[in-house]
Amino acid sequence: MSAVYIETYGCQMNFADSEIVASLLQKAGHTVASDIEQADYILINTCAIRDNAEQRIRKRLRELRALQQRHRQVRIGILGCMAERLQSQLMVEEENVSFVVGPDSYRSLPLILDRVRQENVKAAETQLSTTETYADIEPVRLSSNGISAYISIMRGCQNYCAYCVVPYTRGRERSRDPQTIVDEARSLFNQGYKEVTLLGQNVNSYRFASLDGNEVTVDFPELMHRVAEISPLLRVRFATSHPKDLSDKLLQVMASHDNICKCIHLPVQSGSDRMLKLMNRHYDSAWYLDRIAAIRRYMPDCSITTDVIAGFCSETEEEHQMTLDIFRKVRYDYAYMFKFSMRPDTYAAKHLHDDIPEAEKTRRLEEIIALQGQIALENNRNEIGKTFEVLVEGESHRSKQQLFGRNSQNKVIVFDRQDAQPGQYIHVKVTDCTAATLKGEIV
């Protein structure tokens, strides 16, 4: 039997998918290699969200040529969004790739691996599905610390934001049977896990209608409730939510369970109503701010994080200032900040112009980053003196004498270890901070 080495790039969904791939291949008799030099197959799970994500994969493929010179038997396969976007064209452009498999075709991987080797052919499998959720596959926890794990609960997206390639690479939305989700979370808890993160491209539009006659629909708040009920010692997180689907019902469920973490990632993308409309986001800044106010009403201690794009098509200086304004109003605890990158096939590529010069995009992005850095630092300073329940995750990267963990708000806290152990819940009083990290002591 052969050894497979899996390398993963991109979002949490990709990391969760790689664990499904590992499971499917192990079932077929392959082993997952931890050393790339030992591998018969190298699988690269890829991201296509921005051009630089794709360039990084292409660079990695060039680096792997040397290894292929040494081990002529090794075959390279591309999985994930870049495989779906480029399909067999990718094997023409990148000669050292033997197969491409899209996100809904992972069940065919064992067959493809055999064919590629035995028949010495190239293969592409990129059919998208409206039903595949891999609900029956128990993921092999590849990069896990044994404390927190991802559970993929829905796949795909059909929001068609004008800039976004995801609807084309991941197909239509579909939700996984809630019973299989609760079972997976319970099994993780019984194995000693203390935290699960429910994942979906658009997690809060989760909706599953049972097919057994007596029609019951499980929506995202109901699912969260069911997972949170497994045990008060199991923390529950989720990502990513779309502002248009952020219901009061979800906020009520979050507020009523201490073990549902008080942290919401709510991508804003822009502070300008004209940009939001052009982006096809289905909300305006007033709606977004109303959702922020609702979060604060139900959970005054909830942290809020976001995604934002600088320099989308035709964005004016004034519209960029509106983005800075909304950052000042919301005061995010963390933000993922990007320059707009035009993606083929999207609405933007077909109908809009990528007309903001690169240097100008960079300037706008840097302004957002600088403002956000200042806000995050101020937010963290407000935490000094407070005591939080922290789930210990492991040793601090800086010092063996220190451990780190996260509070419910998902903020990293570093503290002197004393006799605390990873996997424990402890209480830590915050004594100091940077923009990125809290420092504290066990109380």
> Of the candidates 341, 407, 409, 410, which one interacts with ligand 5AD according to CB under 6 A?
341
- Judged by CB under 6 A, the stretch of 52-60, 159-167, 217-225, 294-302 that binds ligand SF4 is 159-167
Nearer CB in complex with ligand 5AD: 11/140: 11
**Least distance in angstroms from the C-beta of 170 to ligand SF4:** 7
What secondary structure letter does DSSP report for 344? T
Q: Are strands 41-46 and 75-80 parallel, antiparallel or unpaired?
A: parallel
> Of the candidates 50, 194, 242, 320, which one interacts with ligand SF4 according to CB under 6 A?
242
**Least distance in angstroms from the C-beta of 420 to ligand 5AD:** 34
179 half-sphere exposure, CB direction, 13 A CA radius: 5
CA of 429: how far to CAs of 203, 327, 414, 432, in Å?
A: 33, 28, 10, 9
Three-state SS at 378: helix
Which residues in the 50-109 window bind ligand 5AD by CB under 6 A? 50
Query: Rounded distance, CA 184 to CA 189, Å?
Result: 9
CA of 220: how far to CAs of 35, 123, 225, in Å?
A: 39, 38, 9
Contact assessment for residue 9 and residue 59, using Cβ atoms and an 8 Å cutoff: no
Nearer CB in complex with ligand SF4: 225/242: 242
> Of the candidates 166, 246, 253, 413, which one interacts with ligand SF4 according to CB under 6 A?
166
Residue 201's binding partner, choosing from ligand 5AD, ligand SF4, none, with beta-carbon cut-off 5 to 8 A by kind? ligand SF4
CA terminus-to-terminus distance, the chain: 52
**Least distance in angstroms from the C-beta of 46 to ligand 5AD:** 15
Nearer CB in complex with ligand SF4: 144/159: 159
- Our finding on whether 79 is near ligand SF4 (CB under 6 A) is no
For residues 412-427, one letter each, b for 16 or more C-beta atoms within 10 angstroms of the residue's C-beta and e for the rest, the string is ebbbebeebebbeebe
Enumerate the β-bridge partners of residue 239: 199
One-letter identity of residue 213: G
> Of the candidates 18, 175, 201, 409, which one interacts with ligand SF4 according to CB under 6 A?
201
- Count of helices and strands (H, E) across the chain: 14, 21
> Of the candidates 202, 272, 341, 407, which one interacts with ligand SF4 according to CB under 6 A?
202
Residue 242's binding partner, choosing from ligand 5AD, ligand SF4, none, with beta-carbon cut-off 5 to 8 A by kind? ligand SF4
Three-state SS at 108: helix
Please provide the DSSP assignment of 410-432 as one string.
--EEEEE-TT--TT-EEEEEEEE
> Of the candidates 22, 112, 164, 278, which one interacts with ligand 5AD according to CB under 6 A?
164
- Our finding on whether 157 is near ligand SF4 (CB under 6 A) is yes
Contact assessment for residue 285 and residue 266, using Cβ atoms and an 8 Å cutoff: no
Nearer CB in complex with ligand SF4: 164/356: 164
Retrieve residue 342's tokens.
Answer: 């035009």
Which residues in the 253-292 window bind ligand 5AD by CB under 6 A? 267, 269
Three-state SS at 56: helix
> Of the candidates 87, 144, 159, 247, which one interacts with ligand SF4 according to CB under 6 A?
159
Contact assessment for residue 415 and residue 439, using Cβ atoms and an 8 Å cutoff: yes
- Judged by CB under 6 A, the stretch of 5-13, 152-160, 224-232, 369-377 that binds ligand SF4 is 152-160
Nearer CB in complex with ligand SF4: 175/201: 201
Site size for ligand SF4 (CB under 6 A): 10
- Judged by CB under 6 A, the stretch of 27-35, 185-193, 250-258, 337-345 that binds ligand 5AD is 337-345
For binding to ligand 5AD (CB under 6 A), which residues are involved? 49-50, 163-164, 267, 269, 307, 309, 338, 340-341, 343
